[in-house]
Structure 1
């Protein structure tokens, strides 16, 4: 028992009449067949750059976070990992590197999704891997660089190479691949992709269409070849309902992106409700959370909308949030390939509100029932709107029939998301007293905002580690010479928002540097990004006010950008980077000029002038912002000392390019002299990558 919860074995129908809360009997019965096959519960890394800060977490904390996500019978025990096929363009919280920046080259050392897939597979060899493009490099989009479908062979070869690279370089088998996240799909492309995958030895890779809503169902019903090419229909944020056309196809239906809700206990309630109701209402057999791990700077878009939070690699602090344990109620007691029971015989709604789903193992030896009684106000997802409904305390009675009649007891796991106050941590995933089954019937009292698992499975564990280190702000003194990285890695802590920044060894004296790699406009995903032709990467503490940033930089001799910048008080990133304000010092070596601007797009100039002459292609640039004043130097010579706007009065440090093209950076140094809204210790970090 826990907190007064009472579990009652029921003997005969008379016991049902002994309480004013008596309710209908809910059969659990496989006598007349089964429902749909269960395809798993998963999480998304991407869409984009949502795992950015996890990569360089210090050990042992990085492994602990990964265990909470992927280790079976420990935490969320995720059964599907969906990753972004990087396209060099912003896809929400940043941009992810492409394996083919240009049509003439391939590189499978870029980005961190390979690493994450390997870590997931290391913990759970049975986890399913799913790749999906959010953006594409510009060359895939053809002459207009905005439509990947003008020549289907280009995106087919691009995606095929990614799948092949996963296999040949990392021995990773990709199980599913999507089309283009939440954008128009191309029927000729889908058909060609299926034919090419089959011909090149990847017939095992299944196509999910189309990671938007249910629109593709109507096309599938009218096109036999398309229907044969698409394995599953994936819908984003379905609100727990599918549609008639999708059901008519006979395809497995997925909520291929869902949740995206702040991961407090209301977020946990959202997740718990849709995990059940996606099947109860919509016959969806997989639900995948955006995102799996909230590991990106605050306040980039959709902060803390992951199953857990890990945003401080400099301290090692992380937080295991309620959605981890709500996930465990399903994933620790089922596996992909289990089968739902039929609606009305193991799947349905309670008369007092809430829902239940029952699943059976392939060998018929194990049964799992997941119950949720989550109230409207404590289970609201960020989208779509949730219609009002009521849930009340009730007595639930299950009658086990068919092959389940021989079950004599069920193990019980229990969560209550709210014990009172809205900020209460609740009770998460606790083992309860085993529930006895008498004469095929089992009964329990359930209150509002609870989740139960009743199961014959002997597993189940609430994994734990010692408390991680205390939270600390980003160090106010920071430096990185980029020498400790493997070539082609993305530099840690620099969070690219547009473009792609990669470690390149250029030889003495600078050796390893950071290079912006994108040469032309990608096929963008974020709408705002289509309005800009420059790149930006942010770092640090959004609360920084007075700060000095110093860096060495040079424009590429071939395919070089028109210039580059350093910036402070940058007030936004993600898909709205084009609207970022702050203090930007632009350097234009080709014209020997500079510009100080109050915005990323340099539409609001503060001052400008000529650069001192330089005999080196490398230059040292320093920007200092204090109060309502900014100053800058170029190769130790003063450029300006000017008044600046009062707002924004805090934000990130950033580097970037004035146009697409190569710029190299080295020897980044930051000194924050004042921080808004918090007291910060005088801590210094000379950054060395985590091995």
Structure 2
């Protein structure tokens, strides 16, 4: 019996005689009727793999990381970016700061005003350089959540003048290259807000005009809706390189597939980073391709490095919230990431569905890759149960997973593999033990066939790659409360830096020089006009420390300039919340209004509930 199937370079025999067929059939019987999965590249390859990523921003999610002392700061960065060490991330996505609240804080724009271009602001430049220092091949992706007010003018709409907004984004890309030697690979439109097809086309043209044709446009960092517009508009189709969606639930749409565009889950996960969060991450890393043909999945967020009282606490791949103590935690999603990222590279290809990619018969999924030369092969299998892999969104339909034995038959370019290295994780729940990224004995492959027993809530990586490593450093310092007394006179910072341990929620604070003989540097709120917001707060507020402090004495020197000065300032304690609802916070707010010579004590920043008002006599 001879079956011929066409492949690249000619024809290959799948089965050359009845003896081979009989062997495969008898082998499956000896394994207790284990299902046999065919793995081959006879019919070509699947889509190009674009990498696993993490997202810093959206907003200010890496704020506390910056002021960790060494060696802890470098250790954290190694866990995130160093190849063959831990997460070994392949994409770093960052917020293009726009001077407004974008989830956990504000990030500073490189242009507060049209005449104010400055690339010393913010910390995403630093983070991108640190990532590139560790992995020169990492891809960089920028996306705005908000825009400075001058771009929207009276409309508060950044698309009101698409040429001006496109120029603003192009300047950010050029600034990255000119000031930091960073080449941006991908650029987005506007995070989870309406897209504008004219703006997308203008942005593409502006990038090309500035010799940035290498920068790929990702659209539109929201839903699949742009797919229909791409199908109807050839110019738009030429402008968009990647369709990026958020929280797709591992599924795509017919329209998006019809575009023949690269498909990404350009923001996903956003789940508390315990073992359930790790199960969520492991499931979607595989199933975003199995079910949705998405070739990249990017975690919001990269690292939970913002105060715990802010929204979405610990929704990162790891946790670093105590720069004052040096304590950090390498959470289980880091090692789930490593199962794929340490044994693949961007530019590898998935195998076709049904030939190395698919659902496991007993529940779960498997995904396979080949390197471009087809010399290295990697497969990741996950068996995450429903209740142990729930993501924050969207809702997950019910399904069952059971222990199973899976048998794989390697053919084509993989037919001569005789051994596969094995890395294993088992997520434990209740009193069960958790095993993370443990190297097991290799699997021997006989005549292209091997079997593996799969328990529930496990991840296995099977690979010809020999360079995996569970990297480690000495145990970091123990956690400790925010140290009191605490004082900062801002004299140690370079101008335009952000002060450590402060987390602006509305407005932007920068260290600025003054001519005041008592205060050389000050921490100044610099935004004069309402930005094009992602969430609409109007009351500038900058938080720090611990909102649970009691019996606290605070002291601050405040200067209100005569030009562009505010009408009042406040000092607060026990502030209950930040983020997009910071204007609804409760606490103790002490206001000073210099011009009216008044003092107000309120329980909220909007002065809705007033405890007392005192007006001084002239």
Q: Deviations over 1:380-437 (max 9, x none)?
A: 101000011000111011100011111111000000012xx43656100011001110
Checking the alignment, whether the CA contact within 8 Å between 2:363 and 2:383 is kept in structure 1 is: yes
Select the residue among 264, 274, 284 that pairs with 1:264: 274
Aligned-pair distance for 1:556? 2.2
Match of 2:557, SS state, is strand
- Within 1, Cα distance between the matches of 2:73 and 2:617? 46
Counterpart for residue 658 of structure 1: none
* Aligned match for 1:55, one of 66, 71, 77: 66
User: Is 1:607 aligned to 2:615, yes or no?
Assistant: no
Match of 1:517 among 526, 533, 540: 526
Corresponding residue number in structure 2 for 1:125 = 136
Deviation at 1:501, TM superposition (A): 0.4
Equivalent position of 1:597 in the other structure: 602
1:405 equivalent to 2:405? Answer: no
Report how many aligned residue pairs link the two structures.
Answer: 596
* Cα distance in 1 for residues equivalent to 2:206 and 2:574: 49
Identify the residue that residue 470 of structure 1 maps to in structure 2.
Answer: 478
In the alignment, structure 1 residue 78 sits paired with structure 2 residue 89: yes
Cα distance change, pair 423–137 in 1 and its aligned pair in 2 (3 A): farther
- Answering whether residue 345 of structure 2 is matched by residue 335 of structure 1, we say yes
CA offsets 1:48-107 (integer angstroms, 9 cap, x no match): 000010000011000000000000000100000000000111100011111111111111
Which of 274, 282, 286 is the equivalent residue of 2:292? 282
Aligned partner of 2:308 in structure 1 is 298
1:294-443 → structure 2 map (5 Å cutoff): 294-418=304-428, 421-422=429-430, 426-443=434-451
Q: CA 1:423–1:511 in structure 2 vs 1: closer, same or farther (change >3 Å)?
A: farther
Aligned to 2:6: none
2:501 is aligned to 493
Conserved 8 A contact 1:490-1:501: yes
- Secondary structure of the residue aligned to 2:312 is coil
1:577 aligns with 2:582: yes
The whole-number CA distance in structure 1 between the counterparts of 2:414 and 2:317 is 33
2: CA distance, partners of 1:36 / 1:609: 68
Distance 1:425 1:241 in 2: 32
The equivalent residue for 1:45 is 56
Would you say the 8 A contact 2:220–2:243 is kept in 1? yes
Q: 1:534 aligns with which of 533, 536, 539?
A: 539
Equivalent of 1:189, from 176, 199, 205?
Answer: 199
Superposition RMSD on alpha carbons, in Å? 1.3
For residues 546-569 of structure 1, what are the alpha-carbon distances to aligned partners after superposition, in whole Å with 9 as ceiling and x for unaligned? Answer: 211110001122111111111111
| Aligned-pair CA distance for 1:209 | 0.3
Q: Is the 8 A contact 1:142 1:151 kept in 2?
A: no
Q: Paired residue for 2:455, among 435, 447, 450?
A: 447
Change (3 A) 1:410 1:445: same
Matched, 1:110 2:121: yes
Query: How many Å apart are 1:17 and its aligned residue?
Result: 2.2
Asked if 2 retains the 8 angstrom alpha-carbon contact of 1:23 and 1:351, the reply is no
Cα drift, residue 19 of structure 1: 4.6
Residue 546 (structure 1) aligns with: 551
Supply the distance in 1 between the matched residues of 2:616 and 2:437 (Cα, whole angstroms): 63
Task: Tell me the residue number matched to 1:666.
Answer: none
Residue of structure 2 in register with 1:164 after alignment = 174
In structure 1, stretches of 5+ residues that fail to align are: 1-9, 614-691
455-464 or 595-604, larger mean C-alpha shift: 595-604
Once residues 293 and 31 of structure 2 are traced to their aligned partners in structure 1, the CA distance between those partners, rounded to angstroms, is 34
- Deviations 1:569-607 (Å, cap 9, x if unpaired)? 111001110101111111111222221111011111111
Tell whether the 8 Å contact from 2:222 to 2:244 is kept in structure 1 after alignment: yes
- Between the aligned partners of 2:167 and 2:553, the Cα distance in structure 1 is 45
Separation in structure 1 between the aligned mates of residue 534 and residue 483 of structure 2, nearest angstrom = 33
TM-score (norm 2): 0.95
Q: Which of 582, 586, 604 matches 2:591?
A: 586
SS at structure 1 position matched to 2:437? strand
3-state SS of paired residue (1:279):
helix
Partner of 1:645: none
C-alpha deviation, 1:37, in angstroms: 0.3
Q: What displacement does 1:610 show?
A: 2.7
* Residues 298 and 542, structure 1, Cα contact 8 Å, conserved in 2: no
Could you say which structure has the higher strand fraction? 1
After superposition, where does 1:130-209 map in structure 2 within 5 Å? 130-145=141-156, 147-209=157-219
CA distance in structure 2 between the aligned counterparts of 1:123 and 1:41, rounded to whole angstroms = 16
Tell me which of 206, 211, 236 is aligned to 2:221. 211
1:227 and 2:237 equivalent?
yes
Separation in 1, partners of 2:608, 2:54: 40
Q: Secondary structure at the match of 2:143?
A: strand
- Give the whole-Å Cα distance in 1 for the aligned partners of 2:525 and 2:617: 25
Name the structure 2 match of 1:480.
488
Instruction: State the partner residue of 1:673.
Output: none
Structure 1 residue 545, shift from structure 2 partner: 2.4
CA contact (8 A) 1:221 1:227 kept: yes
The Cα of 1:611 is off from its aligned counterpart by 4.7
Provide the rounded CA distance (Å) in 2 between the counterparts of 1:288 and 1:119: 19
SS in 2 for 1:266: helix
How far does residue 11 in structure 1 lie from its aligned partner after superposition? 7.6
2:514 matched to 1:502?
no
The CA deviation string for residues 83-137 of structure 1, in whole angstroms up to 9 with x for no partner, is 0000111100011111111111111111100000000000000000000000111
Q: Is the 8 A contact 2:506 2:538 kept in 1?
A: no
Unaligned segments of structure 2, at least 5 residues: 1-21
Q: 1:36 aligns with which of 47, 54, 58?
A: 47
